Structure 1
Amino acid sequence: MHAKDEARTEGSPEIVVVGAGLVGAVAAVYLAPRFGPVTILEKRADPRRGAGGQGRSLTVMLSARGWRVLSDLGLAEAVREICVPLHGRCAHLPDGSSHVTPYSRDGQPIWSVERERLHHILLDAAEATVGVRLRFGQRVHSVDLDEPAVLVEDRHGRQRLTCRRVLGCDGAHSAARAALAARGAQAEVRNLELAYQEIDVPGGWLDRRTMHYWPTGDALFAAFPMPSGEFSGSLFMRREGPAPSYATVEGQDLLKVFAAGFPEPTAAIPDLAEQLATRSVSSLMVVRCDRWVWRDTFALLGDSCHAMAPFMGHGMNCGFEDARTLIACLDSTEDWTAALAAYEKSRTEDADAISYLSYQHYYIMANPPQEETAHAKGVLRKRLVDLFPDRFVPLYEQCAFTEESYASVLRNDQRLDRLVESLLGRYGAELVTASDSRLRACTPPLTPNTVTLEDSGCS
């Protein structure tokens, strides 16, 4: 037994999880049956006791990676009862037309779920798991990586809680991450240039099988169906800079900007003026950290190490996958140092990839391709995917319906981009409208696996 284990006080948990959000609850349910008592420390009040949704987005998206974790924990059936299946995204374009893009080629849906109801299910599951203790109203001030221990404060004062391991699941403003930063880890924490307001949207006028979005180039309004029959809407604009931005328009001016850009939702939301005037404007924060673990005592998961823009709908799914990957690494060896190092190596490249894709996806949605060259690239990409369905899989489909690493998905997409550019450079834009047989003839030989796609034959 290590000296630090002998020093632990009787009743101390094996593991402390900092943060009782979605990822923290999932991590605790995974860990307790394998490694003994887990204490979850959360600075906020218990949201199941009327504390509310804590200012977070009303809806989150569940895709294959998230469902894998919920199935592992025996929660998939309960969660599916509070979800709405979404089969695609419907773009309502400025010219009055609309266009639906399926999420998958075989009709598979992703699932929209109310964050608050999902959170309650996960907290209930954690509370029902033998060995898990939930403690709310507990503000963690610091983490000692070596002992390890956490300095925590509640209404009775401060105390030092010793343990054997600490997991930081406390979000973008992570107090746990500060312990790694003190040991030299480099963390980038910044607000995006975008901000948003949540807007309640009545049901009855939009297809509930899709999410809906209205792009203007300068702003974006999106609406997701909820089990109640209503929609959860979000208005995205720049925080600062020239109009339209939240810094330059407010009050009635904001209503005018919204009405000019989004006439259809304006007509459908009777209390829009009041909502725009009273709903808080929230920033979008991103986090990147070059170190996630410390020896055998500490690891970060979820937004504490990779908070990302919400536009791919994968922040929660990625955080859940962190927990599953960590458990897989721990199940493969009794050496915690090796397991944590393997977890960090496995996840950091994937987190960087999905964070990049999530940020880029906003501009894809907010700015539908207008230029002829961009249109040609998009059409040719789609034709290649249709002609070689086993070899080219749309990026979103790979992210949402497979468990292929996000880094591999990004590399696949970049290879396809290079192939499209090479084909257009060699054969010109007329290839876009060429026959299927000619396009097949012009496309270099492909392997069955997109990961090994070679595009040099088109240069």
Structure 2
Amino acid sequence: MTKSGGTHPDNPGIVVIGAGPVGLVAAMYLAREHGPVTVLEKRPDPRPLPHRAGRSITVMLSARGWHVLTDLGLAEAVRSVCVPIHGRRAHFLDGGSHTTPYSRDWQPIWSVERERLHRLLLDAAEADPGIRLRFGHRVREVRLDEPAVVVGTAGGTATLPCRRVLGCDGAHSAARSALVAAYAERGGGPDGVREEVRTLGLAHQEIHVPAGWIDPWTMHYWPTGDGLFAAFPLPSGEFAGSLFLRVKGPAPSYEALRDDDDLRALVAARFPGPAAAIPDLGAQLARNRAATITTVRCDRFRWRDRLALLGDASHAMAPFMGQGMNCGFEDARVLREALASTGDWESALAAYEESRTADAEAISYLSDQHYHTMANPPLETENPARDALRERLYALCPERFAPLYEQCAFTEESYATLLREDRAFEELVDGLLRAHGPALASAPASTLSARLAEVSTTRKDHRCS
């Protein structure tokens, strides 16, 4: 690159903004068929720094993510640094616990330290001859008319021309800002962008949890209604813990705390199991400051044939469904498949946007809702017949009906379709109970099958073979 006003001597073709996992996956997909690709990252290369074993946020890999890693030839290498986890176990203040499998046949999802995965993906991208990684390059402006990106480095400001820009630069995306501005200036009216960037009313702290007191093949969590402590297994047998509390409001919230001693006392009272097992809890709470959670919703993911948004740049979501990175990886795969099927960038980006906006909205909604499911200890159910009938239908018609979490994690069906079908399933359950009463939940299988065959809905043929 040259100083401001100059251009790069060779057009890189595609610029990917952001060298996080989604940006690297997108670069590897596109370099093979549409390269060259330059990846710009504002931060320095993390690989020369020591790995903080056991003290890194974990991310979950499920079917959508594994599809992408398999495509790229990285599944085996990634699996070697993952831990399979088969379900989540809730621990209650009264000493009881309850385990919910992630799938009815106990298939696992996979927990991996984000930092370890990131380093592996960086190595793979760097080894690709079609990709150039550029660290310490902060994108200051995206010029969609040219197109080009203006980058600030230690040496000054430079302009990098290109043909396409992929914005994989997170919740505070420079690429999304350019997209919003472009629609405001040239789209206007009903063609403008509906964008929402907000900070959740929750904050979290990372806590390293030692091994040996809870089983290492389950995600463990301690719900209190007004807070949550979660522990995710690591390859070492230890756990990556996360404390979630409200940011503001009456106790328990971070705002209501006077000092670190108050926080330690709160954790000891609300989460006595983890508190007793973590010998340096007070020191960790004082050292690892609370971080807020930013979410993004945007109804436009592309500008003409020049710009596309992927991952958190277009749909940063709450972490509670474990689908944020999987959804971002799927973005890259869908974009690659749209290019392969159309052969035309404008048509491909239009198809990509149409496919992903509804899915992103659906999984973002589900991720918000899932926190409330996990944080609140189960009380005596208001409708035990509904719960029992739901479980009977899952068992009676396993090919027709499945829990929503299981379908999100173990299939690649559209998130929007899954949400729509789950709502239809709940309507079916309620309709059966209204028509036949709560006794249907314990009726013989033949009776239940007959009642189910009588029901006609828009979801599917509800008869079970």
**TM-score for the superposition, normalised by structure 2:** 0.92
Task: State which of 213, 217, 228 in structure 1 corresponds to 2:221.
Answer: 213
3-state secondary structure, aligned to 2:207: strand
Determine the C-alpha separation between the residues in 2 that align with 1:452 and 1:435. 23
For residues 176-195 of structure 1, what are the structure 2 equivalents within 5 Å?
A: 176-183=175-182, 184=184, 185-195=193-203
Aligned CA distance change for structure 1 residues 217 and 375 (closer, same or farther; 3 Å): farther
Corresponding residue number in structure 1 for 2:188: none
Deviates more, 1:158-167 or 1:247-256: 247-256
- Give, in whole Å, the separation in 2 of the partners of 1:142 and 1:400: 37
Change (3 A) 1:446 1:386: farther
Secondary structure of the 1:326 match is: helix
Give runs of aligned pairs for residues 105-254 of structure 1, distance below 5 A.
Answer: 105-183=104-182, 184=184, 185-249=193-257, 250-254=259-263
Instruction: Call closer, same or farther: CA 1:371–1:427 in 2, change over 3 Å.
Output: farther
Match of 2:373 in 1: 364
Tell me how far apart the structure 2 counterparts of residues 450 and 311 of structure 1 sit (CA, whole Å): 30
The residue number in structure 2 matching 1:68 is 67
What is the alpha-carbon distance in structure 2 between the residues aligned to residue 289 and residue 246 of structure 1?
29
Structure-to-structure mapping, 1:208-357, within 5 angstroms: 208-249=216-257, 250-357=259-366
Inter-partner Cα distance in structure 2 for 1:325 and 1:288: 19
User: Cα gap change, 1:282/1:450 in structure 2, threshold over 3 Å: closer, same or farther?
Assistant: farther
Q: Report if the CA contact (8 A) 2:56-2:115 is conserved.
A: no
Q: In structure 2, how many angstroms separate the alpha carbons of the residues matched to 1:115 and 1:269?
A: 22
Q: What one-letter code is carried by the residue in structure 2 that aligns with 1:50? A: L
Counterpart Cα distance in 1 of 2:165 and 2:325: 20
User: SS where residue 419 of structure 1 aligns?
Assistant: helix
- Cα 1:295–1:379 change in 2 (3 A) is same
Deviations 1:184-241 (A, max 9, x none): 3221000111111111100111111110011111111110000121100111111111
The alignment partner of 1:373 has SS state of: coil
Q: 2:246 is aligned with what amino acid?
A: R
Question: In structure 2, do the counterparts of structure 1 residues 346 and 230 end up closer, same or farther at CA, with 3 Å as the change threshold?
Answer: same
> In the TM superposition, what is the alpha-carbon distance from 1:112 to its structure 2 partner?
0.4
Under a length normalisation based on structure 1, what TM-score does the superposition of the two structures give? 0.93
CA RMSD of aligned residues (A): 2.1
Q: 2:8–2:159: 8 Å Cα contact kept in structure 1?
A: no
* Counterpart amino acid of residue 392 in structure 1: F
1:164 maps to a residue whose letter is R
CA distance 1:446–1:135, shift in 2 (3 Å) = farther
CA distance in 1, matches of 2:146, 2:158: 15
Give CA-to-partner distance per residue, 1:398-449, whole Å, 9 cap, x none: 11111111111111111111122223333444444444444334434479x9
2:83–2:112 CA contact under 8 A, matched in 1: yes
State how far apart, in whole Å, the 2-side matches of 1:368 and 1:318 are.
28
Opposite residue 403 of structure 1, the aligned amino acid is E
What is the count of residue pairs matched by the alignment? 446
After superposition, the Cα gap between the structure-2 partners of 1:22 and 1:358, relative to the gap in structure 1 and judged at 3 Å, is: same
Checking the alignment, whether the CA contact within 8 Å between 2:7 and 2:159 is kept in structure 1 is no
2:33 maps to a residue whose letter is R
CA distance in 1, matches of 2:266, 2:293: 21
Q: Structure 2: how far apart are the matches of 1:330 and 1:377? A: 45
**Matches of 1:77 and 1:127, distance apart in 2:** 18
Partner of residue 3, structure 2: none
Runs of 5+ in structure 2 lacking a partner?
A: 1-5, 185-192
In 2, distance between residues paired with 1:182 and 1:217?
41
Q: Deviations over 1:61-107 (max 9, x none)?
A: 00010000000000001001000001111111222111111111222
Q: Give the partner amino acid of 1:262.
A: F
Per the alignment, residue 24 of structure 2 pairs with: 25
CA distance in 1, matches of 2:158, 2:50: 24
Structure 2 counterpart of 1:224, one-letter code? F
The answer as to 2:23 corresponding to 1:14 is no
Q: What is aligned with 1:412?
A: 421
Q: Structure 1 residues 343 and 95 mapped into 2: Cα distance closer, same or farther (>3 Å)? A: same
Within 1, Cα distance between the matches of 2:396 and 2:377? Answer: 24
> Quick one: distance in 2 between partners of 1:445 and 1:193?
45
The answer (yes or no) to whether the contact 2:203–2:246 under 8 Å persists in 1 is yes
For the 8 Å contact 1:167–1:300, the answer to whether it is kept is yes
After TM superposition, give the deviation of residue 453 of structure 1 in Å: 5.1
2:203–2:292 Cα contact (<8 Å) kept: yes
Q: Alpha-carbon deviations, 1:299-345, whole Å to 9, x = none?
A: 00000000000001000000000000000001112211100000000
SS at match of 1:393: coil
Alignment-mate amino acid for residue 15 of structure 1: I
1:83 is aligned to 2:82: yes
Give the drift of 1:180.
Answer: 0.8
Structure 2 counterpart SS, 1:181? helix
Amino acid of the structure 2 residue aligned with 1:220: L
- Give the Å deviation of 1:372: 3.2
Deviation at 1:8, TM superposition (A): 7.6
Asked if the contact 1:391/1:446 (under 8 Å) is kept, the reply is no
Cα distance in 1 between the residues matched to 2:250 and 2:439: 39
